[in-house]
């Protein structure tokens, strides 16, 4: 990853419905080149790679969060396409299994090589932060505890050539102990103590996440729905660095 593609540990989720809303949001920041932003399914499904290129033109690093989950051949072909885009991170579901995760990494490497860009970091989604322990037990029929399940999936990701995982901060101490501090741990569901949790079930503050071993955090509504997003971003930066 070159200096111009350097990422920052605080990532902003661009959870907007239109590219005009995205551009208006980013225009409020004096230097968007200092930002790492997350593009999810909502924007990508509507605009495709074009929205990635538009945001890259502002200098932002990109976390492309599409959470791919399909048979290995399909995922490998899809990741070959995404690997050409010059983004910094992409995501797949660890529940797809080792063959799918390894196929995803092969696709990323092939795509990046074809486009002469750096290979994106491959992050495995463990359990969504919207899933509660009750949902894990009663809807996924998983007999492991939440921590046991997340640790097992992170170990699978590490053994299958992923660079890191997406995980709740609540499981971080167990993950760092079981998987190691060199793996990447990207944590969504981040809120300041004064923020509403919304539909997130397993939330944490920036300080808690960093102290537990997070390498990066993802913040959505508290920044992207703020009336003063630049100030909100600064608050979260301060909290992360505290």
Instruction: Tell whether 26 is in a known binding site.
Output: no
221 annotated ligand-binding residue = yes
Question: Is residue 15 marked as binding?
Answer: yes
At 203 the three-state DSSP class reads: coil
Q: Is 71 marked as a binding-site residue?
A: yes
CA dist., res. 184 & res. 240, Å (int):
16
| Residue 68 assigned as binding residue | yes
65 assigned ligand-binding residue: yes
Q: Decide if 67 is catalytic.
A: yes
Sequence-distant (6+) residues with CB within 8 A of 115 are 83, 84, 85, 86
Rounded to whole angstroms, how far apart are CA atoms 174 and 122?
21
Length of the chain: 242
Give the closest residue to 95 by CA, choosing from 152, 163, 179. 152
Say whether 129 counts as a known binding-site residue. yes
126 belongs to an annotated ligand binding site? no
Look at residue 67 and give its three-state secondary structure. strand
Alpha helices in 116-196 (DSSP H): 133-138, 146-159, 172-179
The single residue of 53, 67, 155, 227 carrying the catalytic annotation is 67
Whose CA is closest to 174, among 151, 157, 193? Answer: 151
58 close to 26: Cβ distance less than 8 angstroms: yes
Known binding residue 58? Answer is no
Tell whether residue 222 is among the known ligand binding residues: no
Binding residues for substrate are: 15, 38, 65-74, 129, 191, 200, 220-221
Binding residues are: 15, 38, 65-74, 129, 191, 200, 220-221
Catalytic residues: 67
């Amino acid at each position: 990853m070159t200096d111009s593609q350097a990422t920052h540990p605080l990532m902003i989720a661009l959870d907007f419905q239109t590219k005009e809303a995205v551009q208006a949001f980013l225009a409020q920041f004096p230097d968007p080149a200092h930002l790492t932003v997350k593009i999810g399914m909502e924007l990508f499904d509507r605009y495709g790679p074009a929205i990635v290129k538009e945001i890259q033109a502002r200098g932002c690093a990109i976390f492309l969060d599409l959470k791919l989950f399909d048979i290995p051949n399909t995922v490998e072909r899809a990741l070959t396409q995404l690997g050409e885009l010059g983004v910094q991170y992409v995501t797949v579901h660890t529940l797809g299994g080792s063959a799918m995760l390894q196929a995803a990494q092969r696709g990323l490497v092939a795509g990046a090589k074809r486009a002469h860009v750096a290979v994106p970091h491959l992050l495995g989604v463990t359990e969504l932060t919207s899933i509660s322990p009750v949902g894990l037990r009663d809807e996924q029929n998983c007999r492991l505890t939440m921590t046991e399940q997340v640790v097992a999936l992170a170990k699978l990701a590490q053994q299958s050539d992923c660079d890191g995982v997406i995980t709740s901060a609540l499981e971080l101490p167990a993950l760092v102990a079981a998987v190691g501090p060199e793996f990447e741990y990207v944590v969504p569901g981040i809120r300041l103590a004064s923020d509403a949790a919304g539909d997130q079930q397993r939330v944490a503050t920036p300080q808690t996440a960093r102290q537990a071993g997070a390498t990066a955090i993802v913040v959505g509504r508290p920044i992207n729905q703020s009336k003063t997003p630049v100030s909100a971003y600064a608050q979260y930066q301060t909290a992360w660095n505290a």
